[in-house]
Amino acid sequence: MSAARIRGLRKAYGAHLVFDGLDLDVARGERIAILGASGCGKSTLLRCIAGLERPDAGTIATTGEVGVVFQEPRLFPWLDVRRNVAFPARTAAERARVDGVLGLVGLAHAAQRLPKQLSGGMAQRAALARALVRDPQLLLLDEPFAALDALRRIELRAAVREILEFTRASAILVTHDVEDALALADRVLVLAGAPADIAFEGTVGDGATRAAILDALGVAEYEGRARRATSR
């Protein structure tokens, strides 16, 4: 059984065709990273899986709960950290998980604080805890470290890695940072083209080396540049 299965995804914004028949599978417990140039459609893909965008065609099937972490923490400013984390909880069992996930992200001491009293890194940890409360089988991470400084980024990346290993949840990480991908993912995909498709795919420690990914990203980018240059 797979955590996510996408078949024939088609999505357009007006005349701009983002995807036209994209297929993607994420196995249970598998962590994939999706890289690509800005505007290539990687966030759109994640938003389609999260149910925030409606595909024009194709099917998206996910198993179990899906948790989403966005680039910004998106905490509810009127709730303290504990209430933010408890926001998605529907059952007594989920409510009972609140303290556990707060501890997991290292925020047990800040449970009473309001979002305006948190640093960027702490706020993003709270957002991560909120995404974990329903014990999701699939975590969608949309550039979750992009708004953080270099040190916080490394810290939170390590924390996410530990959490993913602990919860055994599948994850789809969208990022533009090769280091994020190598640190967190089992498999790396590069999206490129318009409509976008998978231009590169490799397993970390096997085909997906830093050089190979950068090359795939670079080739995609250079091709775009060359096309623009020759059309001038």
Partner 1 sequence: MARFALPLALFVGWWLATARGWVKSYQFASPRDVLAELANLAATGALWHDIGASVARVFAGFAIALALAIVLGALVGGSRAVERVLDPTLQAIRAVPSLAWVPLILLWLGIGETAKITLVAIGAFFPIYVALVAGIRGVDRKLVEVGTTFGLSRAALIARVLVPATLPQLLVGARIGLTQAWLFLVAAELLAATNGIGFLLTDGEQTTRTDEILVAILLFAVCGKLSESGMRWLERRLVGWTDTVPV
Among 76, 95, 100, 165, binds partner 1 (CB under 8 A): 76
Q: How many degrees, rounded to 5, is the angle at CA 46 between CA 18 and CA 116?
A: 125
Q: Does 87 bind partner 1 (CB under 8 A)?
A: yes
Q: Does 72 bind partner 1 (CB under 8 A)?
A: yes
Among 88, 106, 193, 195, binds partner 1 (CB under 8 A): 88
Closest to partner 1 by CB, 90 vs 228, is: 90
32: tokens are: 């994939």
CB 162 within 8 A of CB 22: no
- Binding span for partner 1 by CB under 8 A among 3-11, 48-56, 143-151, 184-192: 48-56
Which secondary structure element, helix H or strand E, spans residue 57, and what is its range? strand 57-62
Closest to partner 1 by CB, 42 vs 134, is: 134
- Binding span for partner 1 by CB under 8 A among 37-45, 77-85, 102-110, 158-166: 77-85
Among 21, 51, 103, 218, binds partner 1 (CB under 8 A): 51
Dihedral Cα 102, 113, 68, 36, nearest 10 deg: -110
Minimum Å gap between C-beta 81 and partner 1 is 12
* Neighbour-count burial of 106, counting CB atoms closer than 10 A to its CB (0-12 exposed, 13-18 middle, 19+ buried): middle
Q: Does 183 bind partner 1 (CB under 8 A)?
A: no
Q: Does 14 bind partner 1 (CB under 8 A)?
A: no
Q: Give, as one character, the DSSP assignment of residue 15.
A: T
Minimum Å gap between C-beta 50 and partner 1 is 5
The site for partner 1, by CB under 8 A, has a size of 18
Among 14, 77, 92, 205, binds partner 1 (CB under 8 A): 77
Identify the residue whose tokens are 């966030």.
43
Helices (H), 68-107: 81-86, 92-96, 98-104
Closest listed residue to residue 154, CA positions, set 182, 113, 190: 182
Q: Does 116 bind partner 1 (CB under 8 A)?
A: yes
Among 22, 24, 70, 123, binds partner 1 (CB under 8 A): 70
Exposure b/e, 60-87, CB count within 10 A at least 16 = b: bebeebbbbbbbebebeeeebbbbbbbe
* Site residues (vs partner 1, CB under 8 A): 50-52, 66, 68, 70, 72, 74, 76-79, 87-88, 114-116, 134
